[in-house]
Amino acid sequence: MGNSVELSAPKDLTLPANPGFTQLESNMAEEPKFYHPDPSVVEYATVKEYDALYQRSITDREGFWAEQAEALDWYKKWDRVLDDSNKPFFKWFTGAKTNIVQNAIDRHLVTRNRNKLAIIWEGEPGDVHSYSYHALNREVSRFANILKAMGVKKGEIVTLYMPQLPELVFGMLACAKIGAAHSVVYGGFSADALRDRINDAQSRVVITADGGYRRGKPVDLKSIANEALKHCPTVEVCICVQRTGQPVYMENDRDYWYHDLYKLPVASPKCETEPMDAEDMLFLLYTSGSTGKPKGLVHTHGGYQVYASTTHKMVFDIKPEDRYWCAADPGWITGHSYIVYGPLINGTTLILYEGAPNHPYPNRWWSMIEKYGINILYTSPTAVRGLMRFGESWPAKHDLSSLRLLGSVGEPINPEAWRWYHRVIGGGRCPIMDTWWQTETGGFMITPLPITPLKPGSATKPFFGNECAVVDDHGKEVGPGEEGSLVIKNPWPGMARTVYKDPDRYQETYWSRYAAQGWYTVGDSAKRDEDGYFWIIGRIDDVIKVSGYRLGTAEIESALVGHPAVSEAAAIALPHELKGNAIHCYVILRANQSPSEDLAESLKNQVADHLGKIARPDGIVFVDSLPKTRSGKIMRRVLKARALGQDEGDLSTLEE
Ligand code: PRX
């Protein structure tokens, strides 16, 4: 019966244009249980064995991390590796003095790395700038001196709202160098989102740019910043980097062109790095959670530098000669840990690219891999799926043989995309490091190493020092293949220390569900299979991942309710072929309003204007009521099950 249905497919069914898809279909039957690494990869790898080192890292966690920390420079070594006297507010390397810039830049200046390329930056129009570690130090020092001249003090928080320019990296490092904390707000966020983050951090200084290039057009950033700054009473100084040269409004006595400041004698290329306590704040990074207010996660100099550099070095098997490209935006945690800090601490040559992956043609990335001889490419499943759509002929135009390792992050990678990435981009020889982690974790938590036998779609096993489990509501580990809540049973040096100005929220969000056991609640559902491999399924809280971007349902709903026509709203995620998930909203209108196409468009725009384009819903459905619990909580799970035609599950708490 099944066959006859397949055979009578509609006549207009067209075969995919990409021959790779058909080949994949026919290969599926022969899918091996494991993809074993190529012997050349194993031979080259620094970490050649997982089990023994993992066991050691668990039985002597502090010893393991102390050993990793020894590989870095410190002005003064720690008294204690881990201080767990005030759980869950763990501290690492207490008593130590350091500054992440000491390791990301300063220590390279007295080695052969001094003249090595640190950053190769390519603009979307094709302009290229490269910086050695020596040059990077000069740029960062000049920026640091400019910030000092603007009165920036140790401990204050500087907000950066920038496109992917070298100056974003210089600005972050300049803040760290003088002991200020940075709060980078992704350049795709709206004026409202920027305003809220600046106000929460009470920034006095904001760094932005006139714009950047995206798909051949200048994107306007300064006017969005201007809009936000109208409602940011703490901001006294706005430094603007000129990239596109488009006309922008500069406010007298507040706004300064970076290139003007750069010419002043004060912008000297020499600047001392400020010694910091290991636990001093390095940066704040806002991320969405289950309430409307994004939380500012606090990361510190000492533990974070150890965690970001160790995970980066071991998972991407970093060698001195490598050219490494993490194609994320520095404005997200992936960019913080694996574009900027991890790679620079490891003395890596990193690639930074300003624009769209398919500009001017869908081979932009592949041509860059060939041009720069890139060895490691780290990106998201959404980017892989997006580029896969254009077919194999685009990568086939380029010699990708320099690639040794691939990486994936941000959302589960579907096996089809995994296999395409592995076969077409990695030539079947490059293992894919599917790294599972979060803004909160600072670095990889569950991830393969190059030597790990892989299963497409699984992030495999915990990184050293970490004990992860999939548990039920009572904290009991579920059986192999069963779905449950992912927890981490131990502290690790890269963990966020708190939510800025809201320690209760930190404790409540992450540590209250399994308070008795003292475990960290991730907020993801997962399975563990019979080989001990972890499979991340998705968020179980009110967070939606769209193209790997993290958004809160509450933020989307409050943007909708802010529209004069809307009385109530609920947002859910529905699966989407390219984006992983797409946002769909259910809206109850006010009494005098009636549904229309135009209104649906205007509501979509309302969300995009409030949060940024990434949050624009795909669908708006007008409804008369929403499924709620007796206590009035919207049951999004029911909406989702209905939309997908699935079983609605337990409805006992549903109010009629
Ligand atoms: O749901 C998981 C998903 O992304 C969430 C964290 O989002 P964010 O803080 O924005 O950090 C993204 C970059 C680290 C996780 O709770 N996620 C991240 N990596 C993976 C993933 N889901 C499946 N597989 C991954 N490799």
Looking at residue 21, its pLDDT comes to: 32
The set of residues, in sequence order, having a beta carbon less than 8 Å from that of 108 and lying 6+ positions away, is: 114, 116, 118, 133, 347
The DSSP secondary structure of 619-632, one letter per residue, reads EEEE-S---BBTTS
C-alpha 333 – ligand 1 centre gap (Å) = 10
Looking at residue 13, its pLDDT comes to: 31
CA–CA distance, 518 with 497 (Å, rounded to integer): 15
pLDDT in tens, 556-615: 999 999 999 999 999 999 999 999 999 999 999 999 999 999 999 999 999 999 999 999
Q: What is the mean pLDDT of residues 53-73?
A: 98
Percentage of residues of the chain with pLDDT beyond 90: 90
Q: Any idea which residue has 């590989």 for tokens?
A: 71
* 506 sits in which H/E element: helix 503-511
The set of residues, in sequence order, having a beta carbon less than 8 Å from that of 438 and lying 6+ positions away, is: 333, 445, 522, 523
Q: What are phi and psi of 92, to 5 degrees?
A: -125, 145
Tokens of 649: 């599950």
pLDDT in tens, 347-383: 999 999 999 999 999 999 999 999 999 999 999 999 9
Looking at residue 29, its pLDDT comes to: 53
Task: Please say if the pLDDT value at position 402 is more than 60.
Answer: yes
Task: Please say if the pLDDT value at position 496 is more than 70.
Answer: yes
The neighbouring-strand residues paired with 349 are 323
Q: Closest ligand 1 atom to the C-alpha of 550?
A: 10
Q: Closest ligand 1 atom to the C-alpha of 435?
A: 26
551 lines ligand 1 (CB under 6 A): no
Closest Cα to atom 18, ligand 1: which residue? 410
Parallel/antiparallel/unpaired status of strands 237-241 and 619-622: unpaired
pLDDT in tens, 207-262: 999 999 999 999 999 999 999 999 999 999 999 999 999 999 999 999 999 999 99
Pinpoint the alpha helices (H) of 18-84. 19-28, 39-44, 51-59, 61-70
355 lines ligand 1 (CB under 6 A): no
The neighbouring-strand residues paired with 205 are 237
163 near 190, Cβ under 8 Å? no
295 lines ligand 1 (CB under 6 A): no
pLDDT in tens, 449-466: 999 999 999 999 999 999
- DSSP code of 411? S
336 lines ligand 1 (CB under 6 A): no
**Residue 5: band (very low, low, confident or very high) from pLDDT cuts 50, 70, 90:** very low
pLDDT in tens, 638-656: 999 999 999 888 787 777 5
Looking at residue 27, its pLDDT comes to: 47
156 lines ligand 1 (CB under 6 A): no
**Residue 43: band (very low, low, confident or very high) from pLDDT cuts 50, 70, 90:** very high
Pinpoint the alpha helices (H) of 50-201. 51-59, 61-70, 100-104, 133-149, 166-177, 191-201
34 near 454, Cβ under 8 Å? yes
Looking at residue 9, its pLDDT comes to: 30
C-alpha 85 – ligand 1 centre gap (Å) = 29
Instruction: Report the length, in residues, of the chain.
Output: 656
In order of 15, 206, 623, the CA distances from 160 in angstroms are: 47, 6, 40
